[in-house]
Chains A and B, each alone.
Chain A
């Protein structure tokens, strides 16, 4: 059955999307959530298992203290309250890749709750409220063999890899997100991308969507414009890239609008996102009748982080992104526009590092947003994928500041560095790019330029100094650009006044 889609731009003239995002973060602890098994990604199937994570009869869990610490730091970074006392709970349901047939999770007592964070889209800041961040364990991974879809239906047989079973997860749940409809897809994307940066900055996870260490579920419903009644939501699972988050929101808005326009009811269900065409398809139907029979996990002691420990962990947090941006803008004396462009280009950290390496804020911004942004764009890569470091950019600028090269020559130095020819200094030497400011060599070229263009020379003698440019150009041409333009100007004026 194919979906009837209403174009996004049309859909949002009649409906407003209400979103909720559930993000699972796989922690990068050395061992699993409740046992001592290693957590390395990509090991041979079922080589990182033990009686505990295979749920052999009699085995018992023990909480990984490092995972609790990471959970608290994530909670703090999201401005959450940290529970003084919380318990794990069992979420009971049968599934072959879940060894105990219950997931050890947290239910009504999450470790972190009532937080918020801010994301920026096109210079506009959106506050996202965080309902909770809780600890849980991952399931194993099922591989369905045979059949066309790779899903369980139609498969000839299935294999289960329990290496992933018991890997610590933090689930971060937002409160409902209501933003101007046209911004919703971008805000969803920005939020997930922001979590990547924020949590990556804590060093507690690899936060790689392609490896599944950051997984996003997009819950979405529509309500008619002007209405307060929430619609039925769909849950689009395991959307595997930032771009896909945005596409999933757009698709579901279009799909829901199609269903509602036809006077039908949206089915509350899990949807699968398809990377190939950006569509979603129906998964398991889900209803409020799903009963996980949660109860407090009797095999684990409650977690009661002391306030002193929480404060110790708070002190380890990096500066919050918004605060850092404000501080840097002041320090660098950037206009709002400069700052927005820098952030929009994904260049904030690069510019900061370049300034750190000695360049002035304006020059750092100029190179990254100008010359280098152009080259990244030509190559179709992100700025941070260019083969040049902030230190090298600062090095080129210092050669300019010392008068050894000029802006024009600098572009050739960028060529050399990006081509792997070495440091800026090495490129200047190897390519012979240093400017000439020696009066002897310059003087000969100046005399030749005056001789070649008597008209211009006469104008200068008559006090029309704007004609100097033509003569400088001529000298530059003779010197193949490697002349100190300021000195050339002085020499011309000396001779013609």
Chain B
């Protein structure tokens, strides 16, 4: 494997700026790496070698003639849920197979404007519905730590691409944990910014009030650098916040937890209140990390957020309700898959719609459309959607009360490490429980960051810890996470990913 591919985005940016390498050289190295390992990982649904190299060349030329952005020339992989001019956007679904968007998502446009070559589009659970990337219509992505295990989901492709050194940076989306949970189970860093902090324009919606785009990287600083590129108000997104972007890069460089008050969420650990289910190795690595924070001068206290235990129930009403409506547009009328009903000579538009949706959507998508349609039905609305919205309010109040006592909250990101492929495929509820710790942040709109804190003793698979901060205080996440990352790397004598197995066929 070329040493170039192992550089963090920050290191790569510095190497390019110093003339030690070029964007074209780096981009080519990553494309070679993808060529070598992605057959085993399946992180990418589409690789745009020509487009990436052209963008790399443009970045190199621009650098030769003057100023560029800090990350200019550093390649990135983009989750296949963002629209990209000239590259297919499938959302992991057959229903969008072959669709090439005529417009760029705002975040994609920002990446292009900042000179980041886009390597390609990464695999995901269909329409971001899942925690394992097994629900992709294009085959599962595999975990670089153990290719018989899942890489998390829905953004398993982005996390695996970064973990397998196929890209230093990736873009993900997090509706109930789809950035943070894959980060946790692949030993990478994943950030869900404050809701409204990053534009959703061009992000194909699952649940509008929960979806948020964010960085997937190997270091906390890299995540902050990418966060700065993609964040900010967008007039095309009415839910985007019109306020300055928190100073996340400065916070990542500060990396000091001395005097910080950090709250352990009682309901999000291996406690009785959480219903248990937290793997021993996960709890152990989490406790070690909390110990490091305490040793570094943070004041760690336990706080209670009693409504968090209702998070999953509320989430599985709000999310499918919104999804059932958001996915109605896939009707075979204007784009995407169109099939006629079998045995009907002269089908009506309605029959074509029904047949196309039946053929184009996978089981998990259909399950959630049915759930959401039911939850919004007249007569059930108050009991389901209405009650779920009340739970959201209660969860937001729990956060508000907790943040009066502490600066940040911490919990394990995922209660379990990466499980073997297929293990939970027949048990949707077990799969849903993987998001127990990540969901409250989405319901309340607050930011969260997951970083690797070691390997579980029982399976030697990565464990993640998440920090949660008040809305628009994303900088606090980066400060604390960068500090903890430094303490852990001192202990490990390097990065956790250095311990990952070298992939078969890798050069």
> Could you list which residues of chain A lie within 8 angstroms of chain B, going by C-beta atoms?
51, 54-63, 90, 92, 94, 96, 99-102, 152, 158, 160, 291, 293-295, 298-301
Contacts and interface: CB of A to CB of B under 8 A. Distances in A.
Contacts of A99: 329, 333-334
B325 interface: yes
Contacts of B65: none
A293 B378 contact: yes
A58 B208 contact: no
Contact of B328 (A94, A291, A299, A300): A94
B353 interface: yes
Interface stretch (B14-22, B135-143, B232-240, B272-280): B232-240
Chain A interface helix/strand/loop/mixed: loop
A47 to B, nearest CB: 15
Contacts of B316: none
Given A57-B101, A295-B381, A96 B373 contact: no
Contacts of A96: 331, 333, 349, 353
The interface centre, meaning the residue of B83, B101, B334, B353 with most chain A CB atoms within 10 A of its CB, is B334
Contacts of B202: 58-59
A102 B325 contact: yes
Nearest to B203: A58
B76 interface: no
A101 B377 contact: no
B376 A57 contact: no
A57 B325 CA distance: 13
Nearest to B89: A57
20 contacts: A51-B103, A56-B101, A57-B329, A58-B204, A58-B205, A59-B202, A60-B238, A61-B238, A62-B236, A62-B238, A90-B325, A92-B325, A92-B328, A94-B353, A96-B349, A99-B333, A101-B331, A102-B328, A298-B209, A301-B238
Interface in B147-206: 200-205
Nearest to A155: B348
Nearest to A57: B204
A160 B373 contact: no
B322 interface: yes
Closest 10 CB pairs of A and B: A101-B328, A293-B376, A298-B208, A298-B209, A58-B202, A57-B204, A55-B329, A96-B349, A58-B204, A58-B83
A335 B346 CA distance: 68
B208 A299 contact: yes
Nearest to B334: A54
B70 to A, nearest CB: 27
B237 to A, nearest CB: 5
The interface centre, meaning the residue of B102, B205, B322, B329 with most chain A CB atoms within 10 A of its CB, is B329
The interface centre, meaning the residue of A99, A100, A102, A299 with most chain B CB atoms within 10 A of its CB, is A299
Interface string B288-331: 00000000000000000000000000000000011011001111
Interface residues of B, number: 45
The interface centre, meaning the residue of A60, A152, A158 with most chain B CB atoms within 10 A of its CB, is A60
B335 interface: yes
Interface in B227-248: 235-239
A295 B321 contact: yes
Contacts of B385: 295
Interface of B: 82-83, 89, 91, 96, 99, 101-103, 105, 200-205, 207-209, 235-239, 321-322, 324-325, 328-331, 333-335, 348-350, 353, 373, 376-378, 381, 385
Given A57-B83, A160-B333, 16 more contacts: A51-B101, A54-B334, A55-B329, A55-B334, A56-B83, A57-B101, A58-B83, A58-B201, A60-B236, A62-B235, A96-B353, A100-B328, A102-B325, A295-B381, A298-B239, A301-B239
A51 B349 contact: no
A59 B99 CA distance: 15
Contacts of A94: 328, 331, 350, 353
Contacts of A51: 101-103
A57 B91 contact: yes
B82 A101 contact: no
A62 B242 CA distance: 14
Contacts of B208: 298-299
Contacts of B333: 96, 99, 160
Contacts of A61: 238
A295 B325 contact: yes
B237 A60 contact: yes
B237 A100 contact: no
Contacts of B105: 58
A61 B373 CA distance: 22
A158 B349 contact: yes
Nearest to A50: B103
The interface centre, meaning the residue of B207, B238, B377 with most chain A CB atoms within 10 A of its CB, is B238
A104 to B, nearest CB: 11
B377 A293 contact: yes
Nearest to B328: A101
A300 B205 CA distance: 14
Given A92-B328, A293-B325, A295-B376, A300 B238 contact: yes
